[in-house]
Structure 1
């Protein structure tokens, strides 16, 4: 502390600050010429293994939807909760194609989990496609993968993830075996 500085309240001196040691490695690094850098870059590029993005499995259904003005939030894009509504609409449209709609008077599906990766905002006006596909088929549950994409630009992925449906006995709430029409539709 200098003579002109006052000690902090309570009369105690502040602890001196420690400086981080300087790295000498950066200063001592040898200079390389452009030819050497280019050579190493080419070798590294040749040694890289190609990474492939797994293809989306065959779709259970592809549902076209129009973005509605009422779906927008204060930021002028589709509210995150509406993404779940879009996915619900697609699941229901798929289920009505099944005999008995995938349920009966004794068993019905419930949503056990939902996972959404919000990739980019959806603006209005916009036309979307919601794709559903089987990720995992269990004894009492089904994991349905989903993608919300642009109807005219399928490279525009707005959302992906999955929803887990569990079939339960309506009276007891206990897990029930997947109905045969659901299993058949998922393995076709």
Structure 2
């Protein structure tokens, strides 16, 4: 997925703030869930992040555009891992060969009100296959 780097994504140091990388990853994760057929629903069951990480390798600056590639791991009973690669788009319109950041999260499917994990729904298992 491609995204624009916004002016407000930068901090006083003139580069994209570290917290914004998590927003980029979140946008890619939600887009994947929507494509799989299951956007989050706060009243039922859905994805809950139990950990998230990001490694910052090269800074990003405005103006620009990025590409976020998303990868999913094998499903467990109620969870799966997602990882992401973030690359700047060059003047040629192609994602750079050098990574700007890598990150990911462990997603657990949960009954939101009960605050307990539940088995992954079939549509998620199918998307992970």
Same fold (TM over 0.5): yes
1:64 aligns with 2:6: no
Q: Distance in 2 between matches of 1:105 and 1:98?
A: 19
Q: Aligned with 1:166: secondary structure?
A: strand
Following superposition, the deviation at residue 178 of structure 1 comes to 0.7
> RMSD between aligned alpha carbons?
1.7
TM-score when scaled to structure 2? 0.88
Larger Rg: 1
1:114 aligns with 2:52: yes
1:159 aligns with 2:101: yes
Work out which of the residue numbers 109, 112, 129 in structure 1 matches 2:67.
Answer: 129
Q: Distance in 1 between matches of 2:45 and 2:15?
A: 38
Any gaps of 5 or more consecutive residues in structure 2?
A: none
Say whether the 8 Å CA contact 2:5–2:65 is kept in structure 1: yes
TM-score when scaled to structure 1? 0.62
Following superposition, the deviation at residue 101 of structure 1 comes to 2.7
Say whether the 8 Å CA contact 1:103–1:179 is kept in structure 2: no
Any gaps of 5 or more consecutive residues in structure 1?
A: 1-62
Task: Give runs of ≥4 in structure 1 deviating > 4 Å.
Answer: 102-105
Relative contact order higher in (CA < 8 Å, ≥ 6 apart): 2
Q: Distance in 1 between matches of 2:42 and 2:36?
A: 12
User: Which structure has greater strand proportion?
Assistant: 2
Q: Aligned with 1:137: secondary structure?
A: coil
In the alignment, what sits opposite 1:89? Answer: 27
In the alignment, what sits opposite 1:171? Answer: 113
